[in-house]
């Protein structure tokens, strides 16, 4: 088969593959099933995949996996443009359309590549230092300019309505094993054998990890996977990346369903697994790191392990004349593999002076130059040659090469271990930081613990399994033979970070950070690794510095003249890999973001033409009209002032408080007294927080000597109940009181207006409603439309009003009966807007004034606070600062020119424009008074009544003269409610 000139062999993933056509920058490319975008392009000899972030240098794939810094592409589809997908993991399918990034007009010819030549004028911190003044120019000129020049993928300005992108599933397991290399597979198998439920999670498309790349392990891998699939209690997930560890055995993992996209284009693209595990075994392996030298980013330079992976997985040779630059025996595998597929000439440049692998390589006819380094790679859009120097001689030699395969050693993939709280310890044998985790938090096995070689990893997996099984009181079955292949002994690694010469040597290829940038950061005082990271943006890109992070640390250490171990790494935080936000949202967006609470009468309101508004979780009628503007609201409010209206107030919080100590408890919870309240009466109450600020307000009725009904504002009912329960279980623990949320049990209607008594009288059979028998703030049980309910004579609107409470399931019957009874008076249902209009005219406060900053004194309730007895907030409410005369106080506002409207949030400014003294909290066009009326919080407001201020809204460029008035703007003596 020959799908591309560089396809030299069968790949493990592409062996049985059929031809697949996709598009790269509009050009058709042939690949085979199983290919990634990168492997298919490499098979076709295409190395140039993108332009770099800052200098617009040509870039090709640097890795063969998830830590790719360079080969990032945009995916274009019917769902829009998805930026920054890694070409090294993105699997191709028929018709896939990808674009290269950060180039204009084309990938081959990019005008901003001039940044590369200007490079020495663009060091780290350049933007901060250069684009300083004038200040206005930043937003209008510099920032748009820089944003256009820098950056990688583009995000669509308009994102279409997308179907559900991801789904969320919850999983439980005894043991979670992260990573399916030799250690993970062995641990899973042994734990599975013992009967424990095991979940093995692997981000690759197949299981095997490092064993995939080594032919000696093919048989072992095949047998172990057969054994695993025979165990019903073992579940293996591929294409699934564990993103984060949250402690207490909770992990988040993201499964890529991209491979299903062809079959089900509308189906979810990701599945988020929330995993709860009793134990975790991290076998996350190690990541090969780069070496910094000039030109280490030219297309054709890549990690040695990547070249090996392209060959084994996809049968693609990344070059025929490779130069390897290495410091360990493990990296030689790439040379042996390329030689076996007929590479023309191979040069290995090894910094070490001796190596067992070098002997084997020489015996196989490969040229090995020990004690040598590459001082630079030569080429622009592809590597042409390398310049090498033998350390003993100082002589430089230039060798032709079409690819440079580098390997600076292997760093344990410690991100998840660190999230679990692992300490990092420097280990010379691997020249890397190795995580150490207490067994309480998790178990580590294999290369993540700094072990070298597949066989030792497999044996370590066995040991970890034994430890985990023991901690779960399970014994491992004796295993005769895991048939671990023999591995030749290897020579130790020698650390190697940077070869200094003229030219840009990169430590972070995605963010274009060079070794010089790191040194500049150190010179300018950003010596700590976290400061250097932020100053240079090193390891802040989507690859999170996995392949170059430690190299940056080492360069910083050299600059500071201390050992790498004393510099450390920047702290990894969730998520371990980039995650699309849509994958986290899952199905929880739009209507599914939060629950909706529905009124018992919602169907009636809807049929009556109501527009709804969300208040807390509740869906409440705002106005019974779909017309815009205030006219329908004013019509409803007028009906209340002139005749009678009815409103559904069922969403108010209702808490039933009972017990011998109920009155004593309410005295403690409320700032005003309730033990003095007579049975059959209600009282307005104020609840404070312990710091003296208002928490909530509402009316509380005494239904019996030991029985109260507390009402709360709609939004606060859950908080108030929690507040009561907390104190009942701590400070008031000896009180004999029970609190029960009865909010859903009772529907409640407000019948308000001068004719309310006449309407209610015709449906109430056992209650005398005259002002003498049932005065203002009276409460009684009563039969309403033959339903046992309660009647409260309370008023928020300021009119004669009754609130009727009915068991929720009979709400409709009572509501209809009241409407029928009111027909003679043209009874009008009114919504939240009209309710608001009526209360603002009266100066009654609501959520806008109870805003978490105001005290009882601020709102004019100072005298309601009990003089005697303790209550929550008592001591701190007396603090001088909360009683200062210049605090914001509640006042009414009216426009001086009555024709002018007010606006909520308007700043109130002194006429000489000298100071902002307050703002408008609520405002409406009045029906009882002329023009608009509003409530405001104004510094020292009560003493300013009568003053003239200017209401300003800079955003809308509005300005209106206002006068401050008493907040009780309509019927200040409350005569209408009492008649």
Query: Binding residue for other proteins (CB under 8 A) from 2, 440, 770, 957?
Result: 440
Tell me if 723 sits within 8 A of 695, measured CB to CB: yes
Tell me if 657 sits within 8 A of 728, measured CB to CB: no
Please tell me whether residue 915 binds other proteins under the rule CB under 8 A: no
CA distances from 449 to 81, 199, 403, 497 (A): 40, 21, 32, 21
224 or 254: whose CB is closer to other proteins?
Answer: 254
Query: Binding residue for other proteins (CB under 8 A) from 870, 886, 897, 930?
Result: 870
Candidate ranges 53-61, 231-239, 241-249, 549-557; the one touching other proteins (CB under 8 A): 241-249
Alpha-helical (H) ranges within 168-294 are: 182-193, 218-229
Q: What are phi and psi of 944, to 5 degrees?
A: -95, 0
Minimum gap (Å) between residue 689 Cβ and other proteins: 9
Please tell me whether residue 421 binds other proteins under the rule CB under 8 A: yes
Minimum gap (Å) between residue 250 Cβ and other proteins: 5
Minimum gap (Å) between residue 730 Cβ and other proteins: 6
Q: How far apart are CA 674 and CA 661, in angstroms?
A: 12
487 or 725: whose CB is closer to other proteins?
Answer: 725
722 or 886: whose CB is closer to other proteins?
Answer: 722
Sheet with 396-400: strands ordered across? 372-379, 383-390, 396-400
Please tell me whether residue 169 binds other proteins under the rule CB under 8 A: no
Residue numbers 258-317 binding other proteins by CB under 8 A: 276
Candidate ranges 476-484, 566-574, 858-866, 870-878; the one touching other proteins (CB under 8 A): 870-878
Please tell me whether residue 584 binds other proteins under the rule CB under 8 A: no
Please tell me whether residue 2 binds other proteins under the rule CB under 8 A: no
Structure tokens at 330: 């493990």
28 or 733: whose CB is closer to other proteins?
Answer: 733
**Residue among 684, 690, 701, 683 at smallest CA distance from 668:** 690
Query: Binding residue for other proteins (CB under 8 A) from 81, 360, 874, 903?
Result: 874
Minimum gap (Å) between residue 576 Cβ and other proteins: 17
Q: How far apart are CA 708 and CA 852, in angstroms?
A: 26
Site string for other proteins, 918-957 (x = CB under 8 A): ----------------------------------------
Minimum gap (Å) between residue 528 Cβ and other proteins: 21
Residue numbers 247-266 binding other proteins by CB under 8 A: 247-250
Residue numbers 48-77 binding other proteins by CB under 8 A: none
Please tell me whether residue 726 binds other proteins under the rule CB under 8 A: yes
Please tell me whether residue 615 binds other proteins under the rule CB under 8 A: no
**Residue among 805, 823, 827 at smallest CA distance from 814:** 805
Tell me if 932 sits within 8 A of 837, measured CB to CB: no
Q: How far apart are CA 85 and CA 155, in angstroms?
A: 12
Burial track 193-207 (b if 16+ CB lie within 10 A, e otherwise):
bbebbbbbbbbbebb
Please tell me whether residue 729 binds other proteins under the rule CB under 8 A: yes
∠ CA 867-873-878, rounded to 5°: 60
Query: Binding residue for other proteins (CB under 8 A) from 691, 820, 943, 963?
Result: 691
Query: Binding residue for other proteins (CB under 8 A) from 876, 929, 939, 950?
Result: 876
Please tell me whether residue 472 binds other proteins under the rule CB under 8 A: no
Query: Binding residue for other proteins (CB under 8 A) from 246, 479, 676, 972?
Result: 246
466 or 718: whose CB is closer to other proteins?
Answer: 718
Q: How far apart are CA 289 and CA 545, in angstroms?
A: 10
Please tell me whether residue 154 binds other proteins under the rule CB under 8 A: no
Minimum gap (Å) between residue 440 Cβ and other proteins: 7
Side-chain half-sphere exposure of 356, counting CA atoms within 13 A: 9
Tell me if 163 sits within 8 A of 449, measured CB to CB: no
Q: How far apart are CA 604 and CA 161, in angstroms?
A: 32
Q: DSSP secondary structure string, 539-591?
A: T-STTTTTTTHHHHHHHHHHHHTS-GGGT--PPP-S-SS---HHHHHTT-SGG
**Residue among 801, 847, 826, 843 at smallest CA distance from 929:** 843
Minimum gap (Å) between residue 510 Cβ and other proteins: 31
226 or 734: whose CB is closer to other proteins?
Answer: 734
3-state secondary structure of 417: helix
Which residues are paired to 250 by β-bridges?
276
178 or 877: whose CB is closer to other proteins?
Answer: 877
Q: How far apart are CA 691 and CA 668, in angstroms?
A: 15
Please tell me whether residue 878 binds other proteins under the rule CB under 8 A: yes
Minimum gap (Å) between residue 733 Cβ and other proteins: 6
556 or 687: whose CB is closer to other proteins?
Answer: 687
List contacts with other proteins (CB under 8 A). 246-250, 276, 421, 440-441, 690-691, 718, 722, 725-726, 729-731, 733, 870, 874-876, 878-879
């Amino acid at each position: 088969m020959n799908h591309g000139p560089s396809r030299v062999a069968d790949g493990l993933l592409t062996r049985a593959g059929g031809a697949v056509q996709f598009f790269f920058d509009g050009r058709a490319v042939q690949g085979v099933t199983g290919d990634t975008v990168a492997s298919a392009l490499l098979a076709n000899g295409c190395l140039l995949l993108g332009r770099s972030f800052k200098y617009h240098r040509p870039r090709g794939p640097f890795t063969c996996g998830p830590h790719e810094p360079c080969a990032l592409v945009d995916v274009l589809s019917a769902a829009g443009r998805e930026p920054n997908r890694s070409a090294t993991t993105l699997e191709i399918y028929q018709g896939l359309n990808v674009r290269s990034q950060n180039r204009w007009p084309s990938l081959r010819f990019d005008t901003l590549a001039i940044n590369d030549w200007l490079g020495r004028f663009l060091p780290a911190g350049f933007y901060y230092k250069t684009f300083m003044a004038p200040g206005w120019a930043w937003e209008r000129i510099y920032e748009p300019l820089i944003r256009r020049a820098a950056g990688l993928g583009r995000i669509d300005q308009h994102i279409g309505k997308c179907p559900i992108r991801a789904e969320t599933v919850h999983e439980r397991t005894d043991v979670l094993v992260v990573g399916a290399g030799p250690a993970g597979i062995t641990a899973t198998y042994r734990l599975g054998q013992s009967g424990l439920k095991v979940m093995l999670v692997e981000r690759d498309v197949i299981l095997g990890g490092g064993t995939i790349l080594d032919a000696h392990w093919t048989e072992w891998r095949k047998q172990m996977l057969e054994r695993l699939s025979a165990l019903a209690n073992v579940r293996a997930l591929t294409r699934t990346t564990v993103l984060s560890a949250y402690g207490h055995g909770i992990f988040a993992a993201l499964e890529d369903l991209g491979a299903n996209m062809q079959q089900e284009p509308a189906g979810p693209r990701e599945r988020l697994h929330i995993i709860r595990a009793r134990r975790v075994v991290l076998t996350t392996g190690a990541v090969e790191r780069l070496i910094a030298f000039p030109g280490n980013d030219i297309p054709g330079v890549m990690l040695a392990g990547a070249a090996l992976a392209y060959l084994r997985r996809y049968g693609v040779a990344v070059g025929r004349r490779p130069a390897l630059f290495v410091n360990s025996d493990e990296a030689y595998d790439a040379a042996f593999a390329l030689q076996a597929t007929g590479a023309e000439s191979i040069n290995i440049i090894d910094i070490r002076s001796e190596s067992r692998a070098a002997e084997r390589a020489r015996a196989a006819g490969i040229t090995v130059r020990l004690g040598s380094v590459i001082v630079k790679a030569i080429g622009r859009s592809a590597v042409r040659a390398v310049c090498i120097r033998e350390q003993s001689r100082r002589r430089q030699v230039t060798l032709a090469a079409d690819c440079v395969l580098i390997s600076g050693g292997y760093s344990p993939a410690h991100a998840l271990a660190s999230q679990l709280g692992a300490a990092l310890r420097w280990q010379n044998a691997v020249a890397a930081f190795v995580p150490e985790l207490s067994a309480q938090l998790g178990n580590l096995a294999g290369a993540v613990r700094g072990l070298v070689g597949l066989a030792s990893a497999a044996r370590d997996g066995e040991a970890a399994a034994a430890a985990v099984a023991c901690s779960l009181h399970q014994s491992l079955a004796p295993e005769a033979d895991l048939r671990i292949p023999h591995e030749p002994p290897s020579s130790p690694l020698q650390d190697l970070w940077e070869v200094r010469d003229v030219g840009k040597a990169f430590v972070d290829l995605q963010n274009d950070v060079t070794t010089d940038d790191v040194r500049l950061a150190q010179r300018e005082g950003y010596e700590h690794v976290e400061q250097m990271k932020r100053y240079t943006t090193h390891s802040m890109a989507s690859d999170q510095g996995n392949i170059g992070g430690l190299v940056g640390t080492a360069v910083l250490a050299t600059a500071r003249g201390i050992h790498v171990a004393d510099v450390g790494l920047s702290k990894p935080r969730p998520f371990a890999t980039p995650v699309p936000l849509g994958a986290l949202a899952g199905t929880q967006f739009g209507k599914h973001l939060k629950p909706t609470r529905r009124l018992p009468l919602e169907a009636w309101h809807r049929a009556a033409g109501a527009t709804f508004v969300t208040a807390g979780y509740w869906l409440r009628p705002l106005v019974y009209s779909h017309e815009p503007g205030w006219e329908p609201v004013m019509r409803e409010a007028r009906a209340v002032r002139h005749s009678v209206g009815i409103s559904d107030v069922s969403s108010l919080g209702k808490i039933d408080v009972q017990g011998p100590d109920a009155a004593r408890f309410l005295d403690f919870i409320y700032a005003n007294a309730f033990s003095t309240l007579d049975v059959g009466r209600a009282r307005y109450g104020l609840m404070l927080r312990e710091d003296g600020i208002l928490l909530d307000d509402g009316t509380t009725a005494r239904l019996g000597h030991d029985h109260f009904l507390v009402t709360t504002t709609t939004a606060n009912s859950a908080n108030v109940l929690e507040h009561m329960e907390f104190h009942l279980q701590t400070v008031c623990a000896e009180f004999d009181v029970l609190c029960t949320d009865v909010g859903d049990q009772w529907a409640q209607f407000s019948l308000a207006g001068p004719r309310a008594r006449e309407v209610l009288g015709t449906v109430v059979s056992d209650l005398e409603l005259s002002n003498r028998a049932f005065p203002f703030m009276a409460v009684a049980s009563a039969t309403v439309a033959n339903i046992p309910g309660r009647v409260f004579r309370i008023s928020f609107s300021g009119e004669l009003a009754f609130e009727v409470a009915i068991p929720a399931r009979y709400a409709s019957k009572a509501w209809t009966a009241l409407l029928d009874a009111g027909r003679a008076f043209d009874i009008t249902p009114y919504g939240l807007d009209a309710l608001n209009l009526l209360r603002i005219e009266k100066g009654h406060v609501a959520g806008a004034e109870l805003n978490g900053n105001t005290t009882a004194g601020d709102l004019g309730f100072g005298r309601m606070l009990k003089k005697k007895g303790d209550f929550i907030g008592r001591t701190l409410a007396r603090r001088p600062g909360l009683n200062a005369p210049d605090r914001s106080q509640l006042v009414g506002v009216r426009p001086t020119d009555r024709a002018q409207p007010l606006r909520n949030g308007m700043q109130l400014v002194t006429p000489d424009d000298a100071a902002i003294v307050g703002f408008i909290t609520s405002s409406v066009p009045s029906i009882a008074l002329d023009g608009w009326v509003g409530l405001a919080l104004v510094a020292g407001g009560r003493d300013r009544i009568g003053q003239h201020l200017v209401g300003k809204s800079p955003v809308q460029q509005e300005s209106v003269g206002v006068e401050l008035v008493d907040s009780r703007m309509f019927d200040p003596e409350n005569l209408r409610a009492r008649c």
